[in-house]
Amino acid sequence: MEHLTTGDSSVASTTTLSLDAGRLQSEKESAARVALEALAGRTFSDPEWDRARTRLLDFVSILRAWHRKGTATASELPKAA
């Protein structure tokens, strides 16, 4: 892994963290593409993958919103008398 350094160590560690997060996202995206291509039984073109990726991210957003809506905090629950 390439480390970018400057005179400020906090900048270096922030840059390293963002590089790690970007690599992790890229690895997850690659794994998702491989899994979807395996299910489809063929390789996707880049435009097909872009569309599938967009739809998958939309679906994940729906699931997250649904989960947040169904998850109540203790302060939101009515107090039992």
pLDDT tens-digit profile of 18-46? 778 888 888 999 999 999 999 999 999 99
> Could you tell me how many residues make up the chain?
81
Report the half-sphere exposure of 20 (CA within 13 A, side-chain side).
7
Its pTM stands at 0.59
Calpha distance 21→78 (Å, rounded): 39
pLDDT band at 11 (very low <50, low <70, confident <90, very high): low
pLDDT given for residue 8 in this prediction: 54
What residues have CB less than 8 Å from 36, skipping those under 6 apart? 44, 52, 56
Specify the 3-state DSSP secondary structure of 15: helix
Tokens 């997060």 map to which residue?
A: 21
Of 3-7, 44-48, 76-80, which gets the smallest average pLDDT? 3-7
